A and B are shown apart, each in its own frame.
Chain A
Amino acid sequence: MARLQLPVLRPLRRVLARLGGAVFVLWAVASVTFFAVRLIPGDPAQAVLGGPGSQASAEALASVNAEYGFDQPVIVQYFAQLGRLATGDLGRSYSLNLNVGPLVLSQLGGTLLLAVLALALAWLLALALATWSTQSGRIASRVGSALEIVAAALPHFWLATSLIVVFSIWLGVLPPISTGGALGLVLPVLTLAIPLAGFLGQIMRESLLRALESPFVLSARARGESERGVRWIHALRHASLPAISLSGWAFGSLISGAVVVETIFARPGLGRTLLNAVTLRDVPVVIGVVMIVAVAYILMTLLTDAVSRLVDPRLRLS
């Protein structure tokens, strides 16, 4: 049989299909970046070394030409680039004189920690706000909704600045820049978590209300289920589903937010590395970061799917 139809193999087929999709996206990302760099006006070697204004030395130009094979036909360069990427070789940063692969990997941990903590905190905040505002009457519901809309509209850079002014300068309780300790993480994580909590909170509150009004909750109440039981056994599970599927997007926007937050709080990480590279037009580093973010983002999407399937057994059936 050409199709895998044994029930045991079905999940395998699904995972393979998803991985295939991911590989396609990565290939496309690599291609887009490869050709995008060719759009930089002027000599590509010059571009790699920071554009026309960088006054790169002749040796540097020559070494770049040799490394990237700019003297060869574009198609050859393209496949050579893909080949290097496949073996994990992301090229060499000209501004830091380091290999991009190890550089980017060393920065990954800090950003992931930030993103994961912020995602967890945002979930907690959103859940607390949604639960509180759905059981404390009309006014609480209005207040909750307003808080969520405002929180979702807060730009990271302003929120970070305001938090620093209040907590570091006025109150003096938290360090304004990252010192490596756990305390230094508080403000960056808050900055990332609060706007996200605004988005997640809106989604959760709405789906919580919808679940609480659904006939199956009425059935549960008619069986004598308590208000707490109704929420914990039935409603919250339903309410978390849309927020879970939103978490893939949330992770992406956290990584994007990390560019700002890491810069303001002077934290090492992918975001700050990316911004520095963009400012210096260090193309290999930019490509390296973008590739690694794409990989992380795709993995996160796969993870959200897996969690969704765990919480929602209906997804496991189809």
Chain B
Amino acid sequence: MGEEVALRVRNLRVGFGMADPVVRGVSFEIAPGECLAIVGESGSGKSVTARSLLGLAGSNARVSADRLELVGHSVLGLTEPAWQARRGKDVGLVLQDALVSLDPLRPIGREIADSLRLHTGLGASARAARVLELLDAVGLPDPEMQVQKLSGQLSGGERQRALIAAAIALNPPLLIADEPTTALDVTVQAQILALLERITGAGTALLLISHDLAVVSRIAHRVAVMHDGVLVETGRTERVLGSPGHQQTRRMVAAIPADKPRGTRLSAADTPDPPSIPSTPRRPDTAIDSVPEIPPNNTVVLEAIGLSKSFRRPDGTRQLAVDTVSFALPRGSTLGIVGESGSGKTTTARLLLALLTPEHGEVRVFGQPWSTASEKTRRALRPGVGAIYQDALGSFDPRWSVAEILSDALGLGRQRRAPQTTARLTTLLDEVGLAATVLPRRPLELSGGQRQRVGIARALAGKPQILICDEPVSSLDVTVQAQVLDLLDDLQRERGLSLVFISHDLGVVAHVSDQIAVMRAGRSVELGPAARVFAEPQHPYSAQLLAAVPRLSV
């Protein structure tokens, strides 16, 4: 009976030091060839769970369980040498971001050969031969060339493949993958998922840890949703995603933007960002499923005409980061710019904000010259153009409190304590769903979602008509991302804002945009109405991106 499961966990509890346990009674099992995904937001305890299964929760961790069985053997209370004999052989681990998950000072061939060196009596040449086989098996082209390379010389996808090769070197019956695709571009992510699926197909049990329901739904047979140290819901993937039982699952399913029409609420009205309860509920609880379309208005507020910008590479040659990009943003609408890393999205954002000057082409704002104007003339127009950044924290002066940041943005000076200042600050915070209690705090002390709300409040302070949003939600948990996207949507409707929304995530962009520009290697390869690009992409690259978008494959 014990032979049927690769891993059996009963009532696992993990705590650190004197603090309350972070994993509070988790039970699950995985059969050979099965993929179980544990999905949860940051701080839910999913990574700690994964590490405890390898005896690697850390020296100050208190781990207890009723049963903890790896391929039929109890591993409870195993000594460190006994653990060492099992790790790599009975269970393999794949971590996020292989740039730092493989020793950057050693060639990847050595790293992969380590498991063989530790657990088999193979000689050096036999190990080398096996490493080549493994690299071939994980789909790295030219294995002979790659073994000598350092992890820093490989692309993100190649590194992740090498890391997987190292973990499966001894064909362990159980593979644990902790956020294996998180830092990767969507197309690469799809390839890595396919590789993992192939490995489970060969009979390996896979425990997949992720924050992203949509990603795991592609390959997981079963999904367990973790929240606050407990598995709140476990079941077949179709069932959990199709008819989620627990509130947290519903919240996470609802938050997935892909395939949801523009204007659909992503965050449930009953789940605000906990410490930031708005003083008055701004929106009625009647869940609006689809809101009336924004009245079309043909006034163009922002226009890019043949923008080009290049940078000098370290070797002296020039690289075009943005190559003849053109578009027009009508008032009250959203233009989504989507592309993978290095596609020139962020350079485009900086050109639009006139932080960079284009080499060719021009940006016009409200029909007036913008990129060609002097900074002095531009300054008069600047309040009309707001910006939201991916790294909200970095965009605030570390010495300033929220009150100082916002009163500075309102043009009130930052030291003023007048009652009307406080009143205006409170109103501004209210608009972004934050309570006045955050005013004396520094951004460093706020959560990611709160920081981004402060960033939005700062952008709104100048009463802008245009907002340039550069990856505004990519470092947030899905449910927080949903709240921020909903907030932007509300603000756009209330204020008639025109948005440029830049993201690597086509799912998000498709949800928020009226028009989409797909960027690749500095060029805008496709530009068209969102619905059309999403339904029938014209450019093969758009189609490829679209196919890779994480969505609920129910």
Q: Are A and B associated in one complex?
A: yes
A219-B102, A224-B115, A225-B84 known; 8 new pairs, CB 8 Å cut-off, are A215-B101, A218-B56, A224-B88, A227-B80, A234-B105, A311-B105, A314-B150, A317-B152
In this assembly, does B104 line the interface, its C-beta being within 8 Å of a C-beta of chain A?
yes
* Contact between A223 and B88, CB atoms less than 8 A apart: yes
Does B118 count as interface, using CB distance less than 8 angstroms? yes
Contacts of A106 in B (CB 8 A): none
Q: How far apart are A316's CB and chain B's nearest CB, in angstroms?
A: 10
Alpha-carbon distance A200/B100, docked complex (angstroms): 25
Interface range on chain B: under 10, 10 to 19, 20 to 34, or 35 or more? 35 or more
Binds A, one of B89-97, B126-134, B187-195, B425-433: B89-97
Once A219-B102, A237-B105 are accepted as A-B contacts, the answer to whether A224 and B56 lie under 8 Å apart by CB is no
Residue positions of B touching A, CB distance < 8 A:
51, 54, 56, 80-81, 84-89, 91-93, 95-97, 100-107, 111, 114-115, 118-119, 150, 152-153, 163, 166-167, 169, 314
Q: How far is the CA of A255 from the CA of B342 in the complex (A)?
A: 49
In Å, the complex CA distance between A313 and B110 comes to: 14
Q: Using a Cβ–Cβ cut-off of 8 Å, how many residues does chain A contribute to the interface with B?
A: 24
Among A215, A219, A234, A317: residue with most chain B CB under 10 A: A219
Q: Please give, as numbers and ranges, the residues of chain B lying within 8 Å of A318 by CB-CB distance.
A: 314
In A182-222, the 8 Å CB interface with B consists of: 214-216, 218-222
Q: Identify which of B87, B102, B107, B153 contacts A224 (C-beta below 8 A).
A: B87
> Which one of B81, B150, B167 contacts A222 once the chains associate, using CB atoms below 8 Å?
B167
Provide a sorted-by-A list of 13 A–B residue pairs whose CB atoms are within 8 angstroms.
A214-B100, A215-B96, A216-B100, A218-B56, A223-B115, A224-B88, A224-B89, A224-B119, A225-B114, A226-B84, A233-B106, A313-B150, A318-B314
Indicate if the CB atoms of B150 and A220 lie closer than 8 Å: no
| Most chain A CB within a 10 A radius of its CB, from B84, B86, B119 | B84
Known: A215-B95, A224-B86. A312 touches B114 (CB 8 A): no
CB distance from B397 to the nearest CB of A (A): 28
Q: Which residues of B contact A221 (CB under 8 A)?
A: 54, 56, 87
Partner of B166, one of A223, A227, A312, A314: A223
B-chain residues with CB within 8 Å of residue A267 when the two chains form the complex = none
Q: Do A317 and B105 form a contact, CB below 8 Å, given A221-B87, A223-B87, A223-B118?
A: no
Question: Complex: how many Å from CA A222 to CA B57?
Answer: 11
Please, which residues of chain A bring their CB within 8 A of the CB of B93?
Answer: 218-219, 222
**Nearest chain A residue, comparing its CB with the CB of B92:** A222
Q: Given known contacts A215-B95, A223-B114, A224-B87, is B100 in contact with A312 (CB within 8 Å)?
A: no
Judge whether A314 and B54 touch: CB under 8 Å.
no
User: A226 — which chain B residues lie within 8 A by C-beta?
Assistant: 81, 84
Residue of chain B at shortest CB distance from A226: B84
Task: Report Cα–Cα, A271/B433, bound state, in Å.
Answer: 68
Which chain B residues lie closer than 8 Å to A218 at the CB level?
A: 51, 56, 93, 95, 101
Known: A215-B97, A224-B118, A237-B105. Is A314-B86 also a contact (CB below 8 A)? no
Q: How many Å lie between the Cα of A214 and that of B88 in the bound state? A: 18
Q: A219-B163, A224-B89, A225-B114 are in contact. Are A314 and B104 (CB under 8 A)?
A: yes
Q: Would A220 and B114 count as touching, CB distance under 8 A?
A: yes
A313 CA to B102 CA in the complex, in Å?
14
Contact of A216 among B87, B91, B103, B119 (CB under 8 A): B103
Residue of B86, B102, B103 most packed against chain A (CB within 10 A):
B103
By beta carbon, the residue of chain B nearest A227 is B80
Query: Bound complex: CA of A216 vs CA of B114, how far in Å?
Result: 13
A317 near B153 with CB under 8 A, answer yes
CB distance from A310 to the nearest CB of B (A): 11
Asked if A238 CB lies within 8 Å of chain B CBs, one says yes
Known A-B contacts A215-B101, A313-B150; the reply to A222 vs B89 at CB < 8 A is no
Closest Cβ–Cβ distance, residue B189 to chain A (whole Å):
19
Q: Which residues of B contact A313 (CB under 8 A)?
A: 105, 107, 150
Task: Specify which chain A residues have a CB less than 8 angstroms from the CB of B314 in the assembled complex.
Answer: 318
Cα–Cα, bound, A237→B91 (Å):
27
Residue of chain B at shortest CB distance from A221: B56
A 270-318 contacts with B by CB, 8 A: 311-314, 317-318
